[in-house]
Amino acid sequence: MGTAELGSLRRTLAAGQATIGYLVTMPSVAMVQALARSGVDWLMIDTEHAAIGIETVAAMVGATSGTPVTPLVRVPGPRPELVKQALDCGAGGVVFPQIATRAEAQVTVEVTRYAPVGRRGYGPTYAALRWGMTNIEYLKAANEAILNVVLIESPAGVDALGEILAVEGLDVVAIARGDLSESLGVAGQLDHPRLREVVARAEAAILARPAVALGGIAFAADEARAMIARGYRFVVLGSDAGLISGAAQRMVQAIRA
Say which of 11, 49, 140, 250 is annotated catalytic.
Answer: 49
Quick one: CA dihedral 81, 166, 191, 185, positive or negative?
positive
Distance CA 88, CA 24 (A): 19
For the question of residue 192 being annotated catalytic, the response is no
**Pair 146, 87: CB distance under 8 Å:** yes
Q: Count CB neighbours of 192 within 10 A.
A: 15
Which value, in Å, is the radius of gyration of the alpha carbons in the chain? 18
Q: What are phi and psi of 122, to 5 degrees?
A: -95, 120
* Nearest alpha carbon to residue 92 among 146, 49, 43: 146
- Strands (E) located in the chain: 19-24, 42-46, 70-74, 93-96, 147-152, 172-175, 213-217, 232-239
| 3-state secondary structure at position 74 | strand
The amino acid occupying position 174 is A
Query: Catalytic residues, which ones?
Result: 49
